[in-house]
Chain A
Amino acid sequence: MSQFWYYVFTLVFFLFDYFILAMGLNIQYGETGVLNFAYIGFVALGAYVTGAVSLPNSVGTGQQYIFGWNMPFPVNLIMGGVAAMILAVIVAFIALRRLRTDYLAMVLISLSLVLYDIINNYPRLFNGADGLYNVPQPMTGIFHMGTNTFVIFFSLVTGVVALILWAVMSRITRSPLGRTFRAIRDDADVAAALGKGVFRYQLMSMLIGSFFAGVGGGLIIEFGGSFNPSAWLPGETFVVFAVIIVGGVGNNVGLLVGALLVETLLIHLPAFLPDIPGHPGLIEYIDAIVIGIVLMIMLWFRPQGMVPERIRRFPQPAGELLNRDGHSVVAPTLTEAVASVSANAPFSDAHEGTDA
């Protein structure tokens, strides 16, 4: 097993994992218009909970954490997703009920910082600044895998999870529910005037997206075996935003493209490059600058992303259309309709009961 394949499959893992994370943020922001600037907090909670339920009881491990239930894969992953959903319910009732767009975004950033400080400074939860480590790698016992084989194996497992979640997400976004989400994104007042309980749908979207965030986070801690506050600085949220903006807001294929370009090629690939002599760590900084520039270029020249949101076309009903009275419905173009009205009876005649 060469180092090369180890690197390649690490990249593959991050491609699939960020695809999952991007789908979660996309349903919240791209589909429903909830500007969730605390997204990385949901990812982190998912990672911590997945780790903490997978680890054995904390006594004697040298770490402090809650749970410690020895949960197997994929139960631990689902628990991570559910934990993020619980956080979503709390956040929704605090922030989403009363606030919109920019104010909501500010509250969510603050919330992300608060969450970060609590977890970082209260070690009894998830071992504070040291974070969780020695998290068991799933299924290694069953298949007797070494570390390198595990990397290949788990990146493929992540691919399967991503595929399942993609199928689920596609089903949701193509359904009338997805359409209602997009109606709320476009104009929440109009959606409410059409009888849609906006908060209910936003909460639903938050819950679905948070589950994806939690699962994505859980996969990270299972893949690497550790997770600490340096992995989820509040700015990390914007990396996921960059993925969906570059890829294409509102398009699942675009999210995969975004995950490939931003997360895989711009963030993780340069991490494997050798240091510039005399300037250790310089590549990392250049990398951050490049991502910023790419984001600006995209927003300036191609705000719809690499793969824009597609127009949803529906098959038209077959056969002749009849109106309520059983008569054939005339299908005028707008121009024809306007022309026929102006050529026909004037408005005053219509008032007297003639057909227009």
Chain B
Amino acid sequence: MMTYNDPAASSMGADGPILRCEGITKAFGGVNAVNGATFDIPRNMITALIGPNGAGKTTVVNILSGAMKCDSGRVQMGSTDVTNWERYKIARLGLMRTFQLSRELGGLTVLENLLVAPKVQAGESLFNIFFRPRLLKREERQNIERATEILRTYGLYDLRDNRARELSGGQKKLLEISRGVMASPSLFLLDEPMAGVNPALIERIGGYILDMKAQGVTVLMIEHNLNVVERICDNVIVLAEGKTLATGKLSELRENKEVVTAYLGEVINASTSH
């Protein structure tokens, strides 16, 4: 079962941030969706990206993952400058992401959704398909074993042969996260993983995210549920009007007037009185 870690016990690590984002900007027509966001994502921590609607959170995730190109600024992953790289190249460096609205590979089964995830597979080469069948078999067997283990952990095992499009909303969320885990990411960007799911599932997803961290995965999650942020995130980045307003622990940010005005305001009161 999942092990829950004490977030405070983790440290930043000697290698510096896993991802550094410097002054990125992105405009859509006349609207500056992202306007100079600058932040670091510390290694082996769970970082929350919070901010009001329209603050540019999803655009930032899109830029970091290569789904959108930024107009200016720099994105560095480890020591590699990945600014405006193609998506698949960034993914191959170990950055996985989920989407705000779950995007399953609908025609594939649940198991196949996971089997497609390993970034580079010998079975994707025509030469290997026809001339190295044993290598393919071995690789496929290993992948099936790993995918089965993940599906069991995520409670999706019984649905393995169902087409992904037949799953419920919550199951699709789990599938998307487990697919990302199958790809063995070093940095996992989760875009509102808890949005629209029932409280029991929020508990489980929270557990899975902590488990990922225990396995050495760095997580950046966009999240509006401050209860969750407070419990599992080590670090919080507040984005407002496309700029980084503040970073730090949520408890520190509560004291920050700018943050309270821009985002926390009523929400934080509700959260603390809860």
| Chain A positions near chain B (C-beta within 8 angstroms) | 171-172, 175-177, 179-180, 182-183, 185-187, 189-198, 201, 204, 250, 309, 311-317, 321, 323-324, 329-334, 336-338, 341-342, 346-348, 350-356
Contacting residues, chain B, for A355 (C-beta < 8 A)? 1-4
A350 to B130, CA, bound (A): 50
Given the interface pairs A179-B115, A194-B91, A338-B200, the reply to whether A350 lies near B207 with Cβ below 8 Å is: yes
- Give me 19 A-to-B residue pairs in the complex whose CB atoms sit less than 8 angstroms apart, sorted by A's number: A172-B126, A176-B136, A180-B116, A182-B105, A182-B107, A187-B104, A192-B91, A193-B67, A193-B97, A195-B183, A198-B88, A314-B140, A317-B141, A333-B158, A334-B159, A334-B171, A338-B155, A351-B231, A353-B4
Contacting residues, chain B, for A192 (C-beta < 8 A)? 66-67, 86-88, 91
Given A347-B206, A356-B204, 19 other A-B residues pairs in contact with their CB atoms under 8 A: A175-B123, A176-B115, A177-B124, A182-B107, A182-B108, A187-B104, A191-B116, A193-B88, A194-B116, A195-B88, A204-B126, A312-B109, A313-B161, A321-B149, A330-B1, A334-B158, A337-B204, A351-B231, A356-B203
Q: Closest approach, in angstroms, between the C-beta of A64 and any C-beta of chain B?
A: 37
Q: Are A179 and B108 in contact, with the CB atoms below 8 A?
A: yes
Contacting residues, chain A, for B145 (C-beta < 8 A)? 317, 321
Instruction: Tell yes or no: B226 within 8 A of A by CB.
Output: no
Q: Are A334 and B156 in contact, with the CB atoms below 8 A?
A: yes
Q: Closest approach, in angstroms, between the C-beta of B216 and any C-beta of chain A?
A: 11
Closest to B7 in A: A351
A355 to B203, CA, bound (A): 12
Contacting residues, chain A, for B65 (C-beta < 8 A)? 193
Q: Are A352 and B6 in contact, with the CB atoms below 8 A?
A: yes
Q: Are B156 and A177 in contact, with the CB atoms below 8 A?
A: no
Q: Mark B155-175, 1 if CB is under 8 A from A, else 0.
A: 111110101000000010000
Q: Are B149 and A194 in contact, with the CB atoms below 8 A?
A: no
A342 to B198, CA, bound (A): 11
Contacting residues, chain A, for B200 (C-beta < 8 A)? 338, 341-342
Instruction: Tell yes or no: B129 within 8 A of A by CB.
Output: yes
Q: Which residues of B191-215 are within 8 A (CB) of A?
A: 200-204, 206-207, 210, 215
Q: Closest approach, in angstroms, between the C-beta of A32 and any C-beta of chain B?
A: 12
Instruction: Tell yes or no: B120 within 8 A of A by CB.
Output: yes
Most chain B CB within 10 A, of A172, A191, A341, A355, is at A341
Instruction: Tell yes or no: B121 within 8 A of A by CB.
Output: yes
Contacting residues, chain A, for B155 (C-beta < 8 A)? 332-334, 336-338
Closest to B107 in A: A186
A321 to B157, CA, bound (A): 12
Q: Are A176 and B124 in contact, with the CB atoms below 8 A?
A: yes
Contacting residues, chain B, for A351 (C-beta < 8 A)? 4, 6, 231-232
Contacting residues, chain B, for A323 (C-beta < 8 A)? 149, 153
Q: Which residues of B101-131 are within 8 A (CB) of A?
A: 103-109, 111-112, 115-117, 119-126, 129-130
Closest to A174 in B: B129
Contacting residues, chain A, for B163 (C-beta < 8 A)? 311
Q: Are B141 and A193 in contact, with the CB atoms below 8 A?
A: no
Instruction: Tell yes or no: B254 within 8 A of A by CB.
Output: no
Given the interface pairs A176-B121, A350-B207, the reply to whether A195 lies near B91 with Cβ below 8 Å is: yes
Instruction: Tell yes or no: B259 within 8 A of A by CB.
Output: no
Q: Are B91 and A356 in contact, with the CB atoms below 8 A?
A: no
Q: Are A194 and B117 in contact, with the CB atoms below 8 A?
A: yes
A189 to B66, CA, bound (A): 10
A235 to B269, CA, bound (A): 66
Residue from A193, A331, A341, A348 within 8 A of B231 (CB atoms): A348
Q: Are B109 and A311 in contact, with the CB atoms below 8 A?
A: yes
Contacting residues, chain B, for A182 (C-beta < 8 A)? 105, 107-108, 112
